[in-house]
Amino acid sequence: MPLVPVRDLLFDARERGYAVGAFNCNNMEIVQAIVGAAQAERSPVIIQASQGAIKYAGLEYISALGRLAAEKATIPVALHLDHGTSFEQVVQCIRHGFSSVMIDGSKLSFEDNVSLTLEVIKVARAVGVSVEAELGKIGGTEDDITVSEREVALTDPQEAKEFAERTGVDALAVAIGTAHGVYKGKPELDFDRLREISNLIDIPIVLHGSSGVPEEDIRKAVQIGVRKVNIDTDVREAFMEGVKEVLVSSPEEIDPRKVLGPGREKMEERIRLKMRIFGSSGKA
C-alpha cells in the first residue's frame, strides 16, 4: 500500500494505547529488516532517515527504498525524516515522497522553534505530510548531531503545553532523560515529567534515544502516553552482531550476501521484539 503519514499511525496508537516503533535506516538490508519484522508481527511501522543516512545513502535511494517497501507491504508503513535541520531539507524530503517529517528546532529559542515549526506545518499540511517537532534538548550523538551533557535540557511541561497549543503539531519529541547512542550507565527517565506533559497536551509524544532503555521503562512510558518510540543503535548493534558472527566463523568469506544476510536476520529478530514491547504487534 502507499506510504501513510505518521499522524494516522499515531492516531490509532493513541486510540488503542500502544506505541509505533520508528526505526532508522541506512541501506536496503535495514529497510527490509524493518518491513519484514512489521509484516511478521502484523504491526504498523515507521522507517526513518537521519542526517547521516541521507549523507550515506542519498535522499533518492532512501526515498525509493522506503516507497518500494511500503508498496510491497500489507501493513501500514510511514517514511519519516528524523531530526530535519532546515525548512529546505523538509521540502526536499516532501518532494521525494516522504509521508512525514521532523523539524528539529530544539537548539533555537522557544519563539524561533514555534515559528520554524509553523512554517513547516504550513507547507507539509498542504500535501498531507505530518510534522514532528522537538522541545527540550535530548542528549547524546546521532550521526552528525551531538548534544553534550551540559547542553541537555529536559522539556518544561508548561512550555510543552504552550508549544502544542500554538503550533498544533502532529507529534512532539520531549526530553525526559533518554539520550541518542549507547548509554554509559542505566538511563534515568523522568516519569513524573512525562506524566505531567501527557496530562497537559493532547498531541502524541515521541521518545528519542530509546535503544538501551530497559524494557519495563519503555512499557511504562507507553502506558503514560508515548506513542512513537525511536530506535537506531539497537538495530545497528543487531546488524553488526550478525555480520561479526559470520566474519569470525568464516573469515575467508568473500560473498557480501553471506555476510549481510545474517545481519538482516538479526535485525529483524530484534525489531520484532521491540514491536512486542511497544504493543504494536497485531495492530495492523
Which residues here bind ligand 13P, judged by CB under 6 A? 24, 82-83, 142, 180-181, 208-211, 230-234
Q: Of the two residues 82 and 268, which places its CB atom closer to ligand 13P in the complex?
A: 82
Buried b / exposed e along 152-170 (16+ C-beta atoms within 10 A): eebbbbeebbbbbeebebb
Q: How far is CA 218 from CA 11, 228, 250, in A?
A: 19, 11, 37
Q: Please, which residue, 209 or 262, has the CB nearer to ligand 13P?
A: 209
Kindly tell me which of 90 and 126 has the beta carbon lying closer to ligand 13P: 90
**Least separation, in Å, of the C-beta of 44 and ligand 13P?**
18
Whose Cβ is closer to ligand 13P: residue 198's or residue 233's? 233
In the annotation, is 82 catalytic?
Answer: yes
Element (H, E) at 79: strand 77-84
Q: How far is the CB of 180 from ligand 13P (least distance, A)?
A: 4
Minimum distance of ligand 13P from residue 226's CB (angstroms):
12
Alpha helix (H) residue ranges in 4-50: 6-16, 28-41
For the record, the C-alpha cell of 127 comes out as 500535501
Q: Which residue number, 29 or 234, has a Cβ lying nearer to ligand 13P?
A: 234
Residue from 8, 82, 144, 156 carrying the catalytic annotation = 82
CA 16 to chain CA centroid, nearest Å: 20
Q: Which amino acid is at 7?
A: R
Residue 74 CB contacts under 8 Å (≥ 6 apart), including other chains: 1, 39
Secondary structure element (H or E) that encloses residue 54, with its range:
helix 51-57
Q: How far is the CB of 155 from ligand 13P (least distance, A)?
A: 15
Residue closer to ligand 13P (CB basis): 84 or 157 = 84
Burial 22-44 (b: 16+ CB within 10 A, else e): bbbbbbbbbbbbbbbbbbebebb
Residue 205 CB, shortest distance to ligand 13P, in Å, is: 13
| Residue of 41, 29, 3 lying closest to 21 (CA atoms) | 41
What does each C-alpha distance from 70 to 4, 21, 36, 46, 87 come to in angstroms? 9, 15, 11, 10, 25
| DSSP letters spanning 190-234 | -HHHHHHHHHH--SPEEE-S-TT--HHHHHHHHHHTEEEEEE-HH
Residues 6+ positions from 159 with CB-CB distance below 8 Å? 110, 135
- Least separation in angstroms between CB 211 and ligand 13P: 3
Q: Which residues are catalytic?
A: 82
